[in-house]
Amino acid sequence: MSEPFRNAYEDKVKADAYSKLEFPNSYYLAYRDLPGLISKHVKGRGAVDFGCGAGRSTRFLRRLGFETVGIDISADMIAKARGIDPGGDYQLIHDGDFSRLAKRHFDLVFSAFTFDNVPGRENRAKLMSGLGALLNPEGRMVLLDSTPEMYTREWASFSTKDFPENAHARSGERVRIITTDIEDRTPVEDILWFDTDYLESFEAAGLELLEKALPLGHKSEPYKWVNEMEISPWVIYVLKRK
C-alpha cells in the first residue's frame, strides 16, 4: 500500500527555507509576465492569494496595488508570513474551507504553485469551484503552476536528474524535484498534472479559460538559463466563472 501524499511545505524546515526565497532564476520567470496579464484581465483591487505560504505572492500582489488576503493550510507557513509581514492579512484555513471569506466579493483569486501539491481530480475541481465562488461577476482567477516538463529537465532553480522515474509518471502520480535556490535540498514531492487535466478541472469547476501563457527566458535577462529559453517550466492560466 502506497504512503499517503505528504505536502512538503507543511514542514518547519521548508517553511523557514521558503520564507527567505524571493524571485531568483526560474522564479523570476514565473512572476515576470504576471503584472501585464493581471492588468489586462483584472478590474478592481480586492484579491485572495490561495496557498500563500510564507507570503511571497501576497506581498507581490500588494506591490501591484491589491488589498490581498493570504490563505494557507500550513500553520508554519502562516506564522512565517506574519513574522515577515506583520501588517499583512494572513489567515490559516482548513483544507477547502473558504467560509471565512465573502463569496462573490473578490476581483482576483491568485494561486502560485499550489495545485502542484493537490492530489485527486475531484479534490482539485472542488477547490477550484470553491475559489471561483469567491469571485465577483467580473472577477478573474489566475493560476501559476508547473508544466509537466518541469519534472524531467534541469533548470536554473531546480534539478530532477536524480529522479529519472519522473519521466514515466502518469497523470495524478507523484514526482520529485529539488529546489537549488535554497539550502534545504530535501526533495519536494509534487503531483504531476497535464494541460488536459487542468482543462477538465476548469470545466468541472464551472470556470472558463480566457488566456494561457507559457513564459520563456530571454537571452538579454541576467540569469543563467538552462532550458528556460526553449521550454517553459511554468504555465499561467487566466479564468473567469461561466
**What's 126's domain CATH number?**
3.40.50.150
> How far apart are alpha carbons 146 and 149 in whole angstroms?
8
- Report if residue 2 sits inside a domain: no
- Report if residue 182 sits inside a domain: no
pTM for the structure as a whole: 0.91
- Report if residue 23 sits inside a domain: yes
- The pLDDT value given to residue 2: 45
> How far apart are alpha carbons 232 and 242 in whole angstroms?
28
> How far apart are alpha carbons 226 and 61 in whole angstroms?
28
- The pLDDT value given to residue 11: 56
What strand order describes the sheet that includes 89-92?
89-92, 67-72, 46-50, 106-112, 135-146, 234-241, 207-213
Q: Name the residue range of residue 94's domain.
A: 12-148+194-241
Average pLDDT of the segment spanning 169-186: 93
- The pLDDT value given to residue 48: 98
- Report if residue 161 sits inside a domain: no
pLDDT band at 20 (very low <50, low <70, confident <90, very high): low
72: part of which helix (H) or strand (E)? strand 67-72
Q: Is residue 26 over pLDDT 80? A: yes
pLDDT band at 4 (very low <50, low <70, confident <90, very high): very low
- The pLDDT value given to residue 19: 46
- Report if residue 160 sits inside a domain: no
Average pLDDT of the segment spanning 204-223: 98
pLDDT digits over 77-133, tens only?
A: 999 999 999 999 999 999 999 999 999 999 999 999 999 999 999 999 999 999 999
Mean pLDDT of the chain: 92
> How far apart are alpha carbons 12 and 219 in whole angstroms?
37
- The pLDDT value given to residue 30: 95
> How far apart are alpha carbons 95 and 123 in whole angstroms?
10
Which residue do the cell numbers 522515474 mark? 165
> How far apart are alpha carbons 33 and 149 in whole angstroms?
19
- Report if residue 163 sits inside a domain: no
Q: How many domains does the chain have?
A: 1
- Report if residue 101 sits inside a domain: yes
pLDDT band at 21 (very low <50, low <70, confident <90, very high): low
Size of the chain in residues = 242
> How far apart are alpha carbons 99 and 156 in whole angstroms?
39
pLDDT > 90: percent of the chain: 88
User: Which has more confidence, 183 or 171?
Assistant: 171
> How far apart are alpha carbons 229 and 242 in whole angstroms?
34
Please state which of the ranges 10-24, 51-65, 139-153, 181-195 shows the lowest mean pLDDT. 10-24
Average pLDDT of the segment spanning 184-213: 96
Q: Is residue 49 over pLDDT 80? A: yes
User: Which has more confidence, 18 or 100?
Assistant: 100
184 with 14: CB under 8 angstroms?
Answer: yes
Listed in sequence order, the residues at least 6 apart from 76 whose beta carbon sits closer than 8 Å to its beta carbon are 10, 11, 12, 14, 15
- Report if residue 3 sits inside a domain: no
DSSP character at residue 151: G
- The pLDDT value given to residue 63: 96
DSSP character at residue 68: E
Listed in sequence order, the residues at least 6 apart from 73 whose beta carbon sits closer than 8 Å to its beta carbon are 7, 10, 92, 93, 94, 95
- The pLDDT value given to residue 22: 64
CA angle 48, 53, 59 (to 5 degrees): 55
